[in-house]
């Protein structure tokens, strides 16, 4: 059993360990990010090697990070906020948590469609919210638009994750922008009526459910398909190979995309480092890592797509204004709740 002395030692040692890692005057950039991919950690290391600036990171859900920034106010240690969805950064901007940044490098690397006009945030990557269906059970061309998913003929066939997820909220908000409130509400109701099961699990689970025959059609993010196709689990690979990808709405507004974007916080204590960090992320080296290891689309047009992405072909993006989509988020949540989309 523990003796009081050994307890005392544990207390001292742990105290010392906690005290470590604080204090000198080295250059840092403090990042609040919703992205938690191993590829990102590799990028942070590269950035430190190139510039000598250390990257400090907190990963959490974007909403939590925004909440935290808000309560910390002018004394927040954060320099950069990164989210996986442009709408969330817009929410942060509306709350006055971001500052405008002017940078020639950023303007050259990030096309205008992927950045906030005032320079409050810059897109880093984007992912398409695509429809996938069982290759053998749905004929090619039967589904072309998001709107088609509400067609009663797909009753009991449609799979999608919970409405709590920001990807679905943004998709619904983009529908609101394109089709208006009434149509979107009807669409959401029709979609819910077609559900094969109550929404649960993550995007990969929806693909697996198609393979298992629980449903035929699912809404997922493109990069998960890339990750599944390169999975070490043979069964997961097979599941991803048994489906067909549809980039929706090619004949009209284009496929909805989530922009993973970064902005400099209003009270960033290391503003210059933060700008350097964004410039690095939008540069060729970093963008290749995004495209190569995580199967996201790089915003920087000079960077070649990875082989998998090339094999999917090019597609038309929905170029709807991200700020407006962000502002419609609350309304989208209400519509989804009213429709009974769990």
Partner 1 sequence: MEVTAPRLDCSVIKNRLKKRYIWWNGWVFAAVLLLLVVCTPVFTLLTHLVSSPGTHWDQVGPKILDSYLKDTLILLVGVAFFTFLLGTSSAWLVSSYEFPGRKYLEWLLILPMAFPSYMMAYSYIGILEYTGPVHSFLRNSLGWEITGPLIDLMNLPGGIFIFSITLFPYVYLFARTSFVSSSREIQDAAALLGASPVRTFFSVALPMARPALAGGIALASMEVLNDYGTVKYFGLNTFTTGIFRAWLTLGDLDSAIKLAAILTTLVLALLWMEYYQRGNKRWSSKSGRTVPPHRICPSKPVQWVFTGVCLLIVLLGFLFPFSQLVYWAIKTAHKVIDASFGMIVVKSFSLAAGSSVLIVFMAIVLLYAVRVSGMHGMRYVTRIASLGYAIPGAVIAVGIMAPVIGFDKWLLRVAPLDGKLLLSSGLFMLLFAYLVRFMAVGYNAIDTGFQKAGKDINDASRMLGFNTWHTLWKVDLPLIRKSIAAALLSVFVDVIKELPLTLILRPFNFHTLATKAFDMATNEQIAESANASLIVILTGILPVVLLNRIIRKSH
Q: Which residues bind partner 1 (CB under 8 A)?
A: 1-2, 4, 7, 10-11, 13-15, 17-18, 21-22, 30, 36-38, 41, 56-61, 63-64, 66-68, 71-73, 75-77, 91, 162, 164, 169, 197-205, 208-209, 211-214, 224, 227, 232-233, 235-236, 238-239, 269, 330, 333-334, 337, 342
Q: Where are the beta strands (DSSP E) in the chain?
A: 28-33, 54-59, 80-83, 122-134, 158-159, 217-221, 243-246, 257-264, 297-298
Of the pair 206, 255, the CB lying nearest partner 1 is at 206
* Rounded-to-integer distance, Cα 173 and Cα 175, Å: 5
Residue with Cβ nearer partner 1 (21 or 141): 21
Residues 292, 295, 299, CA angle at the centre, nearest 5°?
A: 85
Q: Measured from the CB atom, is 31 or 106 closer to partner 1?
A: 31
Q: Residue 94: which H helix or E strand, with range?
A: helix 86-94
Cβ closest to partner 1, residue 4 vs residue 314? 4
Write down the least CB distance from residue 290 to partner 1, Å.
Answer: 15
Minimum CB separation of residue 83 from partner 1 in Å reads 13
Contacts of 67 (CB under 8 A, 6+ apart): none
Q: What does 261-319 look like in DSSP terms, one character per residue?
A: EEEEBTT-TTHHHHHHHHHHHHSHHHHHHHHHHS-PEES-TTSPPPHHHHHT----B--
Spell out a b/e string for 232-250, using b for 16 or more CB atoms within 10 Å of the CB, else e.
eeeebeebbeebebbbbbe
> Which residue, 142 or 337, is less far from partner 1 as judged by CB?
337
* Smaller CB separation from partner 1, 205 or 324: 205
Exposure on the CB side of residue 157, measured as CA atoms within 13 A? 17
Q: Give the Å distances, CA to CA, from 69 to 65, 74, 114, 138, 142.
A: 6, 9, 24, 46, 46
Nearer of residues 14 and 250 to partner 1, judged by Cβ: 14
Quick check: 217 and 138 in contact, CB under 8 A? yes
Q: Between helices 166-193 and 329-339, what is the axis angle to 10°? A: 30
CA dist 323 and 226 (Å) reads: 28
Q: Residue 22 CB, nearest distance to partner 1 (Å)?
A: 8
In the complex, the smallest distance separating the C-beta of residue 240 from partner 1, rounded to whole angstroms, is: 10
Distance CA 98, CA 278 (A): 14
* Alpha carbon distance 128, 245 (integer Å): 11
Minimum CB–partner distance for residue 111 and partner 1 (Å): 27
Q: How far is the CB of 257 from partner 1 (least distance, A)?
A: 19
Shortest gap between Cβ of 153 and partner 1 (angstroms)?
A: 20
Q: Nearer Cβ to partner 1, position 6 or 302?
A: 6
Shorter beta-carbon distance to partner 1: residue 172 or 300: 172
Rg (CA), the chain: 22
Q: How far is the CB of 131 from partner 1 (least distance, A)?
A: 19
What is the nearest approach in angstroms of partner 1 to the Cβ of residue 188?
15
């Amino acid at each position: 059993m523990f003796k009081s002395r050994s307890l005392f030692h544990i207390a001292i040692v742990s105290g010392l360990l906690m005290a470590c890692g604080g204090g000198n005057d080295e250059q840092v950039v403090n990042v609040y990010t919703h992205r938690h991919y191993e590829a990102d950690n590799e990028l942070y290391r590269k950035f430190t090697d190139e510039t000598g600036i250390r990257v400090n990171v907190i990963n959490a859900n974007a909403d939590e990070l925004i909440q935290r920034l808000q309560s910390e106010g002018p004394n927040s240690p954060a320099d950069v906020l990164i989210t996986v969805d442009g709408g969330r950064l817009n929410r942060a901007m509306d709350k006055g948590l971001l500052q405008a940044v002017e940078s020639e490098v950023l303007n050259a690397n990030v096309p205008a469609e992927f950045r906030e006009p005032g320079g409050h945030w810059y897109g880093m990557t984007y992912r398409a919210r695509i429809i996938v269906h069982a290759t053998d059970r749905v004929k090619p061309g039967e589904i072309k638009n998001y709107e088609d998913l509400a067609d009663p003929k797909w009753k009991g066939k449609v799979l999608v994750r919970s409405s709590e997820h920001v990807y679905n909220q943004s998709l619904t908000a983009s529908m609101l922008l394109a089709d208006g409130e009434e149509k979107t509400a009807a669409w959401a109701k029709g979609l819910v009526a077609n559900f094969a099961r109550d929404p649960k699990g993550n995007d990969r689970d929806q693909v697996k459910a198609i393979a298992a025959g629980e449903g035929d059609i699912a809404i997922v993010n493109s990069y998960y398909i890339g990750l599944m196709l390169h999975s070490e689990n043979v069964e997961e690979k097979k599941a991803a190979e048994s489906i067909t990808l549809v980039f929706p709405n090619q004949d009209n507004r284009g496929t909805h995309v989530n922009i993973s974007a970064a902005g400099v916080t209003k009270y960033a204590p290391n503003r210059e480092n933060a700008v350097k960090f964004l410039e690095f992320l939008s540069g060729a080296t970093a963008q290749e890592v995004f495209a190569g290891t995580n199967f996201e689309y790089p915003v920087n047009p000079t960077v070649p797509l990875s082989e998998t992405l090339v094999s999917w072909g090019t597609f038309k993006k929905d170029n709807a204004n991200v700020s407006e989509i962000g502002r419609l988020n609350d309304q989208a949540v209400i519509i989804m709740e009213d429709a009974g989309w769990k």
